[in-house]
């Protein structure tokens, strides 16, 4: 009996000895941070585990011998390793970040929590690198095409001759949208009508759009939403992009982007030059596209003293010269019947600094600073307006990360000073001191809440008056994951906007006869959004994504432009502005090669202070976006787009007709690094002059209609690209 017991004991010991426990820590190969939620799994087996907040996992009951193990994490390259068991101490595995990831794997930067989009309670839309590349083919000079063709966004042209434009979110005036470049608020005020014309897409990694109030992190100006343009950063692998583009209306673009990290240093540099000839499509002697030339150069240097610290210093210079109006004047052949022109000369210099320190416990400290100088001169016959804007921004924040809680606390300072040259009548200064806290709580795997509170103190002064105001701004967003296919977000908050004379209306007037603000106060808002999402395989090989969004924003004490017998002035109205509606986005992907996008926006926006017709001017109630794309990766891409725009009301209450516009593009990769592209924009030649001439009165003293659709009509362009 003892003999059998001894044999059984030895067999049990042998079996136990042959079962191993595998221990590993999985890290980010670039930052050396521990990866939470990464997986390790034995190939052809269900045996695996997920890392905890220290990046650690263990897999038990692994027999002796060589086993293949797969290591993976969202946003990182999968790694396969053959490991011989038994194995010694705890191993350390590093995963490399993917250069491009799918939509649901995009890491969001605008909420500063380093979460993927599907785990972020705040509703954020992203325009990824692939779409930016596609839109860059259409208009390499700036991001206006990227925003124009996005659901719920509207690029509003403010000048018939210069092409100046602003960006509207959910129908609200452009001054209510906060434009950011890598989180820096260096756009707006005197530059507002030109801002999107000075941001090239070539160095962008993605664009993040928050619709609705987003004041916790970004303060005043984020009433309608935030558009954050995120730049590419250097990797160990060198990146080099070059583009050459030419259009039929006389636009030439030459641009290049390069980046690389080597050891403790890295760099990115963007250079872009744009030339545009004046273009008169309807032969009425007035330009629909101004003659212009501008350039941008933006170098950034990165220093990595260790794997947890990053220091960045950058400087961007943009210079532009646009001249539109009478074609004879532009050509230097003015006479008594041909005198009108509008010229904009601009110079922008922005210096940025960022210090980013990550700690072993996943906490993070970040300091951001920027200093921006913007100089602009506007000239028309017998009138000139010029000034300079200084903008300084400092933000210091600390992020605490626990298993189910992420807390961000910080303070920031924003100084803005406008100086009108020669007269100084419209000089204005604002200084905002703010403190904020944001808490993201993973209540369960399926319920996540993000709430925030901001306290701002605003000081505003000009030659007429000075004012102090304090704002307490709460905000909350909640994500509900119903199952693997369905989810929903709901959120809302308060906001405010610092008073300014620089609006879409005053931009169209070149600020003539505008008097300085007097005894006005900041506009205040309350708003919210609610959406429902579905994503899944509808039938075999057909992926379907649906997003249904509802929104509402109310602005109290809106700043309204009024006029007396001689001048225009601003005053706060006691009656509010309300914008509400919904957006529907559908996305169909068949076998990864065929993609269909359908976007519909319904906006019902009224200004209750208006007499008679109260609908906001230049805002269509309905807008439909359609895009069909066929793509063979690294081979061929073609796309067809169609856009419908509903009736709009002009400032004089005239109702415009509806219209369609269509476009077509194609790109062919010739070799691994080379491609050629061609784009036909608005090939049905929809333009405003087909309905009525935009220019009124005589050539010597013209006036212009409001711009409600294309002015240049059908255009086409093509070029070559080189990517390394």
CATH code, 14-95 = 2.60.40.10
Mean pLDDT of the chain: 89
Return the pLDDT at 389.
95
pLDDT grade, residue 66 (50/70/90)?
A: confident
Does the pLDDT value for residue 114 go beyond 50? yes
Residue 487 tokens read as 């989810």
pLDDT grade, residue 456 (50/70/90)?
A: very high
pLDDT grade, residue 438 (50/70/90)?
A: very high
pLDDT grade, residue 299 (50/70/90)?
A: very high
Return the pLDDT at 54.
84
What is the mean pLDDT of the segment spanning 109-129?
Answer: 84
Q: Could you tell me what percent of the chain has a pLDDT over 90?
A: 61
Lowest-confidence pick of 61-65, 194-198, 676-680 = 194-198
On whether the CB atoms of residues 722 and 242 are closer than 8 A, the answer is: yes
On whether the CB atoms of residues 536 and 589 are closer than 8 A, the answer is: no
pLDDT grade, residue 100 (50/70/90)?
A: very low
pLDDT grade, residue 558 (50/70/90)?
A: very high
Residue 637 tokens read as 């891409």
On whether the CB atoms of residues 68 and 51 are closer than 8 A, the answer is: no
How remote is the C-alpha of 290 from its chain's centroid? 26
- CA–CA gap between residue 120 and residue 489 (Å, rounded): 9
- CA–CA gap between residue 542 and residue 106 (Å, rounded): 22
Does the pLDDT value for residue 102 go beyond 70? no
What is the mean pLDDT of the segment spanning 345-364?
Answer: 93
Lowest-confidence pick of 71-75, 455-459, 468-472, 520-524 = 71-75
Length of the chain: 724
On whether the CB atoms of residues 257 and 241 are closer than 8 A, the answer is: yes
Q: Could you tell me what percent of the chain has a pLDDT over 70?
A: 95
pLDDT grade, residue 61 (50/70/90)?
A: confident
* C-alpha pair distances (Å), 479 with each of 28, 223, 232, 544: 27, 21, 28, 20
Looking at residue 121, what DSSP letter applies? S
Does the pLDDT value for residue 160 go beyond 80? no
Does the pLDDT value for residue 80 go beyond 90? no
Select the more confidently predicted residue: 327 or 360.
Answer: 327
Does the pLDDT value for residue 97 go beyond 80? no
Residue 673 tokens read as 């690094």
- CA–CA gap between residue 338 and residue 327 (Å, rounded): 8
Residue 558 tokens read as 């809106």
User: Residues 58-78, buried b or exposed e (16+ Cβ, 10 A)?
Assistant: ebeebeeeebebebbbbbbee
- CA–CA gap between residue 719 and residue 724 (Å, rounded): 17
Return the pLDDT at 199.
84
Q: Is 105 exposed, middle or buried (0-12, 13-18, 19+ CB in 10 A)?
A: middle
How many Cβ atoms are within 10 Å of 129's Cβ, its own excluded?
20
- CA–CA gap between residue 78 and residue 73 (Å, rounded): 7
Of 649, 650, 625, 682, nearest to 147 by C-alpha is 625
- CA–CA gap between residue 682 and residue 49 (Å, rounded): 53
Return the pLDDT at 193.
66
Strands (E), 5-105: 19-28, 39-42, 48-50, 56-63, 65-72, 79-85, 91-95
What is the mean pLDDT of the segment spanning 25-39?
Answer: 84
Does the pLDDT value for residue 55 go beyond 60? yes
Does the pLDDT value for residue 37 go beyond 80? no
Beta bridge partners of 138: none
3-state secondary structure of 680: strand
What is the mean pLDDT of the segment spanning 696-713?
Answer: 88
pLDDT tens digits, one per residue of 211-233:
888 878 888 788 998 999 999 99
Residue by residue, DSSP assigns 519-535 as S---EEEEEEEEEEEEE
pTM: 0.84
List phi, psi (to 5°) of 241: -125, 135
Of 544, 542, 552, nearest to 582 by C-alpha is 552
Select the more confidently predicted residue: 36 or 398.
Answer: 398
Beta bridge partners of 238: none
What is the mean pLDDT of the segment spanning 308-325?
Answer: 95
Please check whether the domain covering 229-723 is classified as CATH 1.10.3720.10: no
3-state secondary structure of 610: coil
Of 120, 132, 196, nearest to 163 by C-alpha is 196
Does the pLDDT value for residue 6 go beyond 50? no
pLDDT grade, residue 632 (50/70/90)?
A: confident
What is the mean pLDDT of the segment spanning 293-301?
Answer: 96
Select the more confidently predicted residue: 6 or 483.
Answer: 483
Return the pLDDT at 44.
75
Does the pLDDT value for residue 547 go beyond 80? yes
Return the pLDDT at 98.
65
pLDDT grade, residue 361 (50/70/90)?
A: confident
Residue by residue, DSSP assigns 556-607 as ES-EEEEE-SS-EEEEE-SS-EEEEEEEEEEEEEETTTEEEEEEEEEEEEEE
Return the pLDDT at 341.
93
What is the mean pLDDT of the segment spanning 649-678?
Answer: 92
Return the pLDDT at 460.
96
Return the pLDDT at 454.
95
For the chain, domain boundaries: 14-95, 103-228, 229-723
* CATH class of the structural domain 103-228: mainly beta
Lowest-confidence pick of 142-156, 366-380, 574-588, 633-647 = 142-156
What is the mean pLDDT of the segment spanning 555-572?
Answer: 93
Region for residue 567 given its phi and psi (left: phi exceeds 0; alpha: psi -120 to 50; beta: otherwise): beta
Peptide bond into 86 cis (omega under 30): yes
Does the pLDDT value for residue 101 go beyond 70? no
On whether the CB atoms of residues 686 and 659 are closer than 8 A, the answer is: yes
* C-alpha pair distances (Å), 81 with each of 68, 122, 254, 451: 6, 38, 45, 42
Return the pLDDT at 35.
86
Lowest-confidence pick of 95-109, 593-607, 694-708 = 95-109
Return the pLDDT at 538.
79
Residue 619 tokens read as 């805002």
Return the pLDDT at 9.
43
pLDDT grade, residue 3 (50/70/90)?
A: very low
Does the pLDDT value for residue 14 go beyond 70? no
The answer to whether 14-95 and 229-723 have equal CATH topology is: no
What is the mean pLDDT of the segment spanning 326-347?
Answer: 93
pLDDT tens digits, one per residue of 576-585:
999 999 999 9
Looking at residue 34, what DSSP letter applies? B
Does the pLDDT value for residue 105 go beyond 80? no
């Amino acid at each position: 009996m003892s003999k059998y017991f001894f044999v059984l004991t030895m067999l049990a010991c042998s079996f136990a000895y042959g079962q191993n426990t595998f221990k590993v820590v999985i890290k980010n190969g670039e930052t050396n941070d521990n990866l939470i939620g990464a997986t390790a799994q034995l190939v052809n087996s269900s045996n695996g585990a997920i890392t905890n907040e220290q990046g650690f996992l263990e897999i038990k009951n692994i027999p002796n011998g060589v086993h293949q193990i797969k290591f993976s994490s969202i946003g990182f390259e999968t790694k396969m390793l053959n490991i011989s068991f038994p194995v010694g101490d705890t191993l350390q595995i590093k995963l490399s970040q993917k250069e491009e990831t799918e939509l649901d794997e995009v890491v969001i930067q605008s909420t500063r929590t380093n979460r993927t989009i599907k785990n972020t309670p705040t509703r954020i839309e992203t325009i990824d690198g692939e779409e930016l590349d596609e839109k860059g083919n259409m208009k390499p000079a700036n991001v206006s095409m990227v925003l124009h063709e996005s659901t719920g966004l509207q690029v509003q042209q403010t000048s018939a001759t210069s092409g100046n434009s602003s960006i509207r979110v959910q129908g609200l005036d452009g001054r209510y949208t906060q434009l950011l470049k890598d989180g820096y608020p260096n756009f707006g005020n005197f530059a507002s009508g030109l801002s999107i014309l000075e941001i090239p897409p070539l160095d962008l990694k993605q664009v993040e759009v928050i619709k609705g109030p987003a004041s916790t992190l970004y303060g005043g100006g984020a009433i309608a939403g935030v558009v954050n343009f995120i730049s590419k950063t250097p990797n160990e692998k060198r990146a080099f992009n070059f583009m050459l583009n030419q259009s039929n209306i006389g636009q030439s673009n030459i641009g290049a982007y390069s980046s690389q990290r080597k050891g403790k240093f890295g760099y990115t540099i963007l250079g872009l030059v744009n030339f545009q000839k004046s273009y008169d499509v309807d032969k009425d002697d007035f330009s629909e596209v101004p003659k212009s030339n501008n350039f941008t150069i933006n170098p950034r240097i990165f220093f990595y003293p260790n794997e947890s610290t990053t220091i960045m210093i950058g400087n961007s210079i943009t210079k532009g010269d646009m001249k539109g109006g009478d074609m004879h004047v532009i050509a230097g052949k003015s006479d008594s019947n041909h005198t009108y022109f509008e010229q904009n000369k601009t110079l922008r210099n922005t210096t940025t600094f960022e210090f980013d320190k990550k700690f072993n416990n996943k906490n993070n400290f970040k300091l951001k600073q920027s200093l921006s100088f913007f100089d602009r001169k506007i000239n028309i016959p017998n009138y000139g307006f010029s000034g300079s804007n200084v903008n300084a921004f400092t933000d210091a924040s600390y992020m605490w990360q626990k298993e189910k809680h992420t807390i961000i606390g910080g303070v920031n300072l924003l100084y803005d000073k406008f100086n009108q040259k020669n007269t100084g009548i419209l000089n204005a200064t604002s200084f905002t001191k703010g403190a904020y806290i944001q808490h993201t709580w993973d209540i369960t795997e399926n319920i996540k809440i993000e709430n925030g509170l901001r306290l701002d103190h605003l000081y505003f002064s000009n030659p007429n008056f000075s004012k102090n105001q304090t704002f307490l701004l709460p905000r909350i967003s909640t994500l509900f994951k119903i199952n693997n296919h369905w989810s929903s977000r709901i959120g809302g908050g308060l906001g405010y906007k610092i008073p300014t004379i620089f609006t879409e209306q005053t931009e169209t007037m070149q600020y003539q006869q505008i008097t300085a603000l007097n005894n006005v106060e900041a506009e205040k808002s309350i708003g919210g959004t609610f959406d429902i999402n579905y994503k899944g395989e509808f039938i075999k090989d057909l992926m379907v994504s649906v997003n249904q969004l509802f929104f509402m924003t109310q602005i109290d004490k809106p700043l309204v432009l009024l006029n007396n017998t001689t001048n225009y002035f601003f005053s706060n109205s006691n009656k509010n502005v309300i914008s509400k509606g919904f957006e529907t986005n559908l996305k169909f992907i068949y076998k990864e090669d065929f993609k269909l996008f359908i976007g519909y926006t319904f906006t019902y926006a009224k200004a209750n202070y208006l007499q008679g017709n109260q609908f906001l001017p230049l805002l269509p109630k309905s807008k439909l976006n359609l895009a069909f794309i066929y793509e063979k990766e690294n081979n061929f891409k073609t796309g067809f787009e169609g856009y419908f725009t509903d009736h709009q009301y002009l400032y004089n209450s005239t109702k415009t007709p509806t219209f369609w516009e269509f476009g077509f593009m194609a790109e062919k990769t010739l070799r691994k690094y080379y491609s050629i592209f061609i784009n036909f924009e608005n090939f049905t030649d929809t333009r405003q002059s087909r309905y009525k001439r935009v220019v009124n009165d005589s050539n010597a003293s013209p006036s212009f209609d409001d711009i409600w659709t294309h002015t240049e009509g059908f255009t086409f362009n093509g070029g070559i690209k080189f990517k390394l």
